[in-house]
């Protein structure tokens, strides 16, 4: 048993939160920060590959991903899996579960993850006692739906090359916002080609070949779990990726 915190674990107090120093999130009053910290019931560490939410589990909790990568997914009975979106540090997860009956989706950790878990069944009290936070939560829900919208356009109407270019750009830009790009311009990129295939609605083999093509064109470099974009402009053009003006998001 080691008393020192691993570097990616949730800090004991929200005011020490690394994410709030990234300029990606709306600043909050100290009082609100205290409320959020009170709303937080616990922290949790989930190892790579572990389930944050089981696909058919009701009543799971709501939480914010503090560090690590995860993804939401749905599967068909014969095993076909669709990744709905990737979850990166700062993302709120599990809002849908709070409302019960909604379509089942699982959440799985790609890497080791640290989470801030919120109190169970207290979402309504948040809205009642702190309408501003309720408003923020709704904003986040709408924002996440926007990501799923994008992914649906990608899976439904882009070809394999465009899909991969989209995925690379999209994730890179999101990582950029939370300061996860290293000085050399590379980012940790822990997903494998099966994840990409499942996110894009492609087969593993075709994902490999299309990704290979992009690499050979000199558009990116992906090795040893690190991604570097060598020609982001070209990737954006291929994917028709439009960077929306970065706007501050709420962080719970």
Applying CB under 7 A, the span of 21-29, 58-66, 140-148, 155-163 interacting with DNA comes to: 155-163
Q: Rounded to an integer, what distance in angstroms lies between the CA atom of residue 152 and that of residue 202?
A: 13
- The entry of a copy of itself, DNA, none near residue 192 (CB within 5 to 8 angstroms by kind) is DNA
Residue 236 in the binding site for a copy of itself (CB under 8 A)? no
Two tokens at 101? 């009956």
- Does 201 bind DNA (CB under 7 A)? Our answer is yes
| 138 binding partner (options a copy of itself, DNA, none; Cβ < 5 to 8 Å by kind) | a copy of itself
Q: Report long-range pairs for 211-214 (Cβ below 8 Å, ≥24 apart).
A: 211/164, 213/161, 214/161, 214/164, 214/165, 214/168
Q: Work out which of 104, 193, 217, 234 binds DNA, going by CB under 7 A.
A: 193
Token duo for residue 37: 């910290």
Per CB under 8 A, the list member of 3, 7, 31, 142 interacting with a copy of itself is 142
Could you say which of 4, 31, 100, 216 contacts a copy of itself (CB under 8 A)?
100
N-term to C-term CA, the chain: 30
Helix (H, G, I), strand (E, B) or coil at 38: helix
Q: What does residue 2 show for φ and ψ, rounded to 5 degrees?
A: -115, 125
Of residues 113, 115, 211, 229, which one binds DNA by CB under 7 A? 211
H-run or E-run covering 168: helix 160-177
Q: Which stretch binds a copy of itself (CB under 8 A): 3-11, 23-31, 102-110, 186-194?
A: 102-110
Q: Please report how the helices 160-177 and 131-157 are oriented relative to each other, as an axis angle in degrees rounded to 10.
A: 160
Closest separation in Å from C-beta 49 to DNA? 8
DSSP E strand boundaries for the chain: 40-46, 51-53, 63-67, 70-75, 81-87, 92-93, 106-109, 113-118, 186-188, 220-223, 226-229
The reply on whether position 203 binds DNA by CB under 7 A is: yes
Q: How many residues bind DNA (CB under 7 A)?
A: 19
Q: In the bound complex, what is the minimum distance in angstroms from residue 140's beta carbon to a copy of itself? A: 9
What span, in angstroms and rounded, lies between the C-alpha atoms of 167 and 7? Answer: 28
Residue 111 as a binder of DNA (CB under 7 A): the answer is no
State the residues that interact with DNA by CB under 7 A: 159-161, 192-194, 201-212, 224
State the residues that interact with a copy of itself by CB under 8 A: 72, 74, 76-77, 80-82, 84, 95-96, 98-103, 105, 123-124, 127-128, 131-132, 134-135, 137-139, 141-153, 155-158, 200-201, 240, 244-245, 247
């Amino acid at each position: 048993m080691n008393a020192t915190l691993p570097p990616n674990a949730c800090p004991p107090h929200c005011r020490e939160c690394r994410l709030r120093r990234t300029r990606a999130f709306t600043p909050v009053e100290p009082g609100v920060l205290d409320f959020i910290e009170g709303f937080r019931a616990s922290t949790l560490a989930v190892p790579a590959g572990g389930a944050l939410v089981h696909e058919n589990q009701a009543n799971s909790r709501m939480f914010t991903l503090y560090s690590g990568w995860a993804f939401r997914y749905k599967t068909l009975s014969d095993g076909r899996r669709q990744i709905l979106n990737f979850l990166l540090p700062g993302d709120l997860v599990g809002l849908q579960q709070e409302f019960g009956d909604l379509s089942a989706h699982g959440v799985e950790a790609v890497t080791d993850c640290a989470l801030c878990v919120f109190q169970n069944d207290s979402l309504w009290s948040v809205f009642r006692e702190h309408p501003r936070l309720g408003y923020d939560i709704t904003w986040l829900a709408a924002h996440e739906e926007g990501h799923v919208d994008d992914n649906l356009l990608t899976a439904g109407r882009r070809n394999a090359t465009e899909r991969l270019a989209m995925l690379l750009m999209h994730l890179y830009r999101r990582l950029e916002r939370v300061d996860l790009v290293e000085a050399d311009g590379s980012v940790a990129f822990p997903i494998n080609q099966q994840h990409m295939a499942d996110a894009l609605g492609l087969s593993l083999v075709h994902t490999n070949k299309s990704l290979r093509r992009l690499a050979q064109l000199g558009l990116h470099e992906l090795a040893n779990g690190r991604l570097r974009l060598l020609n982001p402009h070209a990737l954006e053009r291929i994917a028709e990726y439009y960077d929306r003006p970065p706007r501050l998001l709420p962080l719970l």
